[in-house]
């Protein structure tokens, strides 16, 4: 299996400080608060969630500069937080900006 793509819109929350890997690559962790209406089995459903996310490189620098109330559209893939945790984290590979909420 090779399909692992996620697109999600939300508000950046709980941003960590920008740091750098030993190789000098910028990295930042943050939360994304999402709320939407989705159709499931023919019924409208309100969806609310907070997803852990991480960004590296130029995207990490962009996230570090954003206000916490900024609405963003993120694309990326899911991976385990680390080898000892099964918690999923969105690894952001693209970011687009929307209006503030």
Place of tokens 């918690």: 87
Whether 1 maps to a domain, the answer reads: no
Query: Other CB atoms closer than 10 Å to residue 97's CB: what's the count?
Result: 11
Whether 20 maps to a domain, the answer reads: yes
**Least confident piece of the model among 20-24, 49-53, 94-98:** 94-98
Whether 36 maps to a domain, the answer reads: yes
CATH code of residue 57: 2.40.50.140
Whether 53 maps to a domain, the answer reads: yes
What's the pLDDT score for residue 101? 56
What are the pLDDT digits (tens) for 40-78?
999 999 999 999 999 999 999 999 998 878 899 999 999
Whether 35 maps to a domain, the answer reads: yes
Query: Other CB atoms closer than 10 Å to residue 41's CB: what's the count?
Result: 5
Domain that holds residue 42: 6-100
Whether 84 maps to a domain, the answer reads: yes
pLDDT at 98 over 80: no
pLDDT band at 22 (very low <50, low <70, confident <90, very high): very high
pTM (predicted TM-score) = 0.87
Whether 65 maps to a domain, the answer reads: yes
The first and second tokens of residue 79, run together, are 């991976």
Work out how many domains the chain is built from and give that number: 1
Q: What is the 3-state secondary structure (H, E, C) of 10-79?
A: EEEECCCCCEECCCCCEEEEEEEEEEEEEEECCEEEEEEEEEEEEEECHHHHHHHHCCCCEEEEEEEEEE
The first and second tokens of residue 92, run together, are 């952001």
């Amino acid at each position: 299996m090779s399909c692992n793509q996620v697109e999600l819109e939300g508000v950046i929350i709980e941003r960590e400080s920008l740091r750098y890997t030993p190789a000098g690559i910028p990295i930042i962790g943050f939360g994304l608060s999402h709320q939407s209406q989705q159709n499931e089995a023919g019924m409208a459903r309100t969806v609310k969630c907070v997803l852990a996310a991480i960004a590296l490189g130029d995207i990490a620098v962009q996230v570090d500069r954003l206000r916490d109330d900024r609405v963003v559209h993120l694309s990326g893939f899911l991976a385990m937080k680390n080898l000892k945790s099964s918690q999923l984290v969105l690894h952001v590979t693209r970011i687009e900006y929307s209006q503030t909420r």
